[in-house]
Structure 1
Amino acid sequence: MQRRFALKAVLATGALAVVTACAPAEPQAPDIVQIASTNDDFSTLVTALQAADLVETLQGEGPFTVFAPTNAAFEKLPAGTVETLLMPENQAQLAEILTYHVVPGAVTSAQLAGQRLSTATVQGTEVHIDGTGEMVTVEGANVILADIEASNGVIHVIDSVIMP
């Protein structure tokens, strides 16, 4: 009798292990680049990240806070600016501009509310953030959508491209 019980217990444990192994894993939240890539409003940003060879960096562990300009933000730049920056010979300049939009760590809008501060960017210089008004601004650009959570940080959508 005990052998049958032991055999049933072993079989049940084995069946449970098989079911667990076949069960779908928890879906992981998309990373910053995956989120940007699936949103048409960021097609210029994604193209720029590719041209600057920053895709792999922003798919890294992070965490990062990205102040992401929309296509409309890029359109505000003087005519021909984006096209010029996307040229291979301007890769370093483009990377400098894009990394100026990235702050180490995951910073939410709640952490910025009511604060005025300067913080270092991945580019190396500081960016000025003002959360004391009705809207958070970064170097004068308005945060128009905040706290898009990614697996490796947070995205805040801004309405202008900021320049170092």
Structure 2
Amino acid sequence: MKSLSIIIALLVNTAFVMAQKPDSAGVPVKTKTVDGTVVTSANNLVANIALSSELTTLSNAINVSGLADTLSSGTITFFAPVNKAFEKLAPGFIDTLTQPAHKAELIALVKNHALSGRFTSKDFERQIKAGNGQTGFTTLSGGVITARINENRNIVLTDENGNQSIVTRLDIDQSNGMLFIVTAVLLPKAKE
């Protein structure tokens, strides 16, 4: 019985050490569970999005738009809408955007969820405080996302059309930036 306890203790220690195993740059690899899927900071954001069963619509949009390579390199902060967020859009909206004739619109939609650089929730909080309760961020599509903190201490994002999305999962480290899970799709400003 004592040797069984020792073996179990060794296995637990080994698992803990492996979970903290540094990547090739010597940085400890972090893992988080996102909707039942374990994602790791050793993966880029496109790879981690593809792993989650709650982000399949987004993953498809990234691939169809041709932005997988762009979003796999460079330093990016990405707001990932869950599948239910896309279901709130008008019926057929995403099906239309994934057609070749609407590729430019799909690219704008995906890029409207991405910021150049790596931002943590603490970075957002500091900038919101410095902006007297809200601050704006320019997305890769050129649009502006406004961020504020609501009465429940959630980060709330608002697109240029007034649509609001709540950040439900914060600070998911990626090899090329930071991932946040959000409740709604952030639409680019409608062209006039």
Q: TM-score, normalised by structure 2?
A: 0.69
The residue number in structure 1 matching 2:64 is 51
**Candidates 76, 93, 98, aligned match of 1:81:** 93
The residue number in structure 2 matching 1:9 is none
- How far apart are 1:88 and its partner, in Å? 1.1
The residue number in structure 2 matching 1:119 is 137
1:90 corresponds to 2:114: no
Whether the 8 Å contact between 2:150 and 2:156 is mirrored in structure 1 is: no
- Give the letter aligned to residue 31 of structure 1: N
The residue number in structure 2 matching 1:106 is 118
Whether the 8 Å contact between 2:46 and 2:72 is mirrored in structure 1 is: yes
Whether the 8 Å contact between 1:113 and 1:132 is mirrored in structure 2 is: no
Bigger radius of gyration: 1
Q: Over residues 34-85 of structure 1, what are the superposed CA-to-partner deviations in whole Å (9 max), with x where a residue is unaligned?
A: 100111111100100011100000111x210001101011111011111111
Higher relative contact order (CA 8 A, sep 6+): 1
Q: Over residues 69-117 of structure 1, what are the superposed CA-to-partner deviations in whole Å (9 max), with x where a residue is unaligned?
A: 0101111101111111111111100000110110111111111126110
Q: TM-score, normalised by structure 1?
A: 0.80
Whether the 8 Å contact between 1:112 and 1:131 is mirrored in structure 2 is: no
Q: What is the aligned residue count?
A: 140
4+ long deviations beyond 3 Å: 25-28
| Separation (CA, whole Å) in 1 of partners of 2:51 and 2:116 | 23
| Separation (CA, whole Å) in 1 of partners of 2:150 and 2:93 | 32
**What is the DSSP-based 3-state SS (H/G/I as helix, E as strand, rest coil) of the residue aligned with 2:140?**
coil
Q: Over residues 104-146 of structure 1, what are the superposed CA-to-partner deviations in whole Å (9 max), with x where a residue is unaligned?
A: 1111111112611001111112111113541001112000111
**Percent identity over the alignment?**
28
**What is the DSSP-based 3-state SS (H/G/I as helix, E as strand, rest coil) of the residue aligned with 2:108?**
helix
| Separation (CA, whole Å) in 1 of partners of 2:167 and 2:119 | 13
**Candidates 122, 135, 150, aligned match of 2:154:** 135
Structure 1: which 5+ runs fail to align?
Answer: 1-24
| Separation (CA, whole Å) in 2 of partners of 1:159 and 1:117 | 19
